[in-house]
């Protein structure tokens, strides 16, 4: 009985209901004087409250996918790569191509994909497809679930040798790939924009930056601990390049996210401009700090100050050469706390770095706000990415077109503000 399954939710709800009924039935017997009746009342009330809270927690976790398994809930995470030997088919939830033993991207289970509304259906060459996979870090040994949206052109004969640009979408903490698909609507929005010609055909990769749940690693290489930055800046691109027809140069790679995922997107792009050249950050922070969910991210000793400063984006803009990247930041003027910090970040950016912003008058730190900002963010990011001109060798694929030009209008002035 999985942690996120509906069966678990129903069982916990039934258990809570039974405890409430037993409490009502036993209360007259526990209403006597003396130590034992008092302890009995305390135990009955305590057990009933625990079961009710557990039932509500299971329902929330099933809906929002904070933790994907019992092991994750208790901090036990499998990091050992698991190989398969058979070729993957073409059905739902499998990787396009052959996932051999030792492959860095392998088919995964449903991951609540069947509960996501609005995903493409029908022929993949007409509507595209979303695949459920697990990404295995060659350097870090991390195994992280992901969803991959492949546009219709990926399956069309004319594009069989063509590589595609990539946008990596990161969830917040303690979010999941389910949140990216169901609540942020990443594949649905990207699919609609590409179908209408407002985005060039692009592969969308949805993944969580929390590689060692329940710890919030904030895309940092923790001394002696999880190597989150290495996984997202090296392992993930290498794994995708080994499996999908994606661009091999940074000019065709972007990363975006919301909340702490947005913070990660900025960190990854500014610290690794040779991997990601474009970032979209919805409600980000501009400095990584230790807190109860992160633990000690930067270690101790003489190197701690340098590590802390290295993840302070305002410090980087002041003391280090600006990277040649383009970033978009989004923050509401009223309803979110980070508006002054966002204005300070925009002001601090200098050439060759470029920044644009989405600054709505009203909004909260939630999915309704971020989904409003998604279309303009994706269109702008896509326009910064270069459609790969390199192609897959002829011996592996049939010939395809030599060039595909980016399409789609610039975001309106009401949606973005350029610096």
Q: What is the pTM of this model?
A: 0.75
Using an 8 Å Cβ cutoff, are 367 and 178 in contact? no
End-to-end Cα spacing for the chain: 52
For residue 12, the model assigns a pLDDT of 85
Question: How far is CA 366 from each of CA 179, 259, 282, rounded to the nearest angstrom?
Answer: 11, 9, 10
The predicted pLDDT at position 403 comes to: 34
For position 301, what pLDDT does the model report? 87
- Provide the pLDDT for residue 76: 52
Divide the 419 residues of the chain into consecutive groups of 10 and give the mean pLDDT of each group.
Answer: 72 89 85 82 89 84 56 50 30 44 83 88 94 94 94 94 96 90 95 94 95 90 94 96 94 96 97 97 95 92 93 97 96 92 96 95 90 94 90 55 34 40
Of the candidate CATH numbers 1.20.120.340, 2.60.40.10, 2.30.29.30, 3.40.50.1820, the domain formed by 82-418 belongs to: 3.40.50.1820
C-alpha 310/C-alpha 308 separation (Å) is 5
- pLDDT score, position 61: 66
| Tokens 């398994």, located at residue | 69
Residues 296, 302, 307, 312: what is their CA dihedral angle, to the nearest 10 degrees?
Answer: 100
- Residue by residue, DSSP assigns 12-75 as HHHHHHHHHHHHHHHTTTT-SSSHHHHHHHHHHHHHHHHHHHHHHHHHHHHHH-S-SSHHHHTT
Q: Which of 155, 150, 140, 149 is nearest to 104 (CA)?
A: 140
């Amino acid at each position: 009985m999985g942690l996120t399954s509906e069966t678990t939710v129903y069982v916990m709800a039934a258990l809570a209901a039974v405890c409430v009924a037993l409490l009502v039935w036993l209360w007259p017997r526990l209403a006597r004087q003396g130590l034992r009746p008092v302890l009995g009342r305390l135990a009955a009330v305590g057990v009933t409250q625990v079961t009710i809270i557990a039932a509500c927690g299971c329902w929330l976790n099933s809906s929002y996918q904070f933790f994907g398994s019992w092991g994750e809930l208790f901090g036990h995470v499998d990091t050992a790569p698991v190989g398969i030997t058979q070729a993957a088919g073409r059905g739902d939830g499998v990787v396009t191509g052959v996932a051999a033993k030792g492959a860095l991207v392998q088919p995964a289970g449903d991951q609540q994909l069947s509960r996501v509304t609005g995903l493409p259906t029908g022929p993949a060459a007409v509507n595209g497809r979303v695949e459920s996979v697990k990404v295995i870090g060659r350097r870090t040994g991390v195994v992280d679930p992901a969803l991959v949206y492949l546009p219709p052109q990926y399956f069309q004969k004319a594009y069989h040798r063509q590589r595609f640009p990539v946008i990596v979408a990161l969830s917040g903490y303690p979010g999941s790939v389910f949140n990216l698909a169901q609540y942020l609507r990443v594949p649905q929005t990207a699919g609609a924009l590409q179908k209408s010609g407002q985005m060039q055909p692009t592969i969308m990769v949805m993944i969580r930056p929390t590689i060692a749940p329940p710890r919030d690693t904030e895309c940092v290489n923790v001394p002696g601990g999880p190597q989150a930055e290495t996984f997202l800046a090296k392992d993930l691109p290498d794994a995708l390049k080994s499996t999908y027809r994606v661009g091999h140069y940074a000019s065709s790679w972007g990363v975006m996210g919301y909340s702490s995922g947005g913070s990660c997107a900025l960190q990854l792009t500014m610290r690794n401009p040779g991997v990601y050249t474009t970032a979209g950050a919805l409600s980000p922070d501009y400095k990584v700090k230790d807190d109860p969910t992160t633990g000690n991210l930067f270690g101790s000793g003489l190197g701690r100050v340098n590590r802390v400063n290295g993840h302070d984006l305002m410090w980087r803009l002041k003391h280090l050469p600006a990277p040649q990247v383009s970033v978009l930041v989004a923050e509401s003027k009223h309803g979110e706390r980070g508006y002054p910090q966002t204005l300070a970040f925009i002001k601090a950016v200098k050439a060759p770095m470029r920044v644009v912003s989405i600054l709505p008058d009203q909004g909260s730190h939630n999915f309704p706000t971020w989904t409003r900002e998604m279309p303009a963010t994706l269109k702008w990011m896509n326009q910064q990415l270069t459609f790969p001109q390199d192609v897959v060798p002829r011996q592996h694929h049939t010939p395809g077109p030599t060039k595909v030009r980016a399409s789609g209008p610039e975001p309106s002035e009401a949606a973005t503000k350029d610096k």
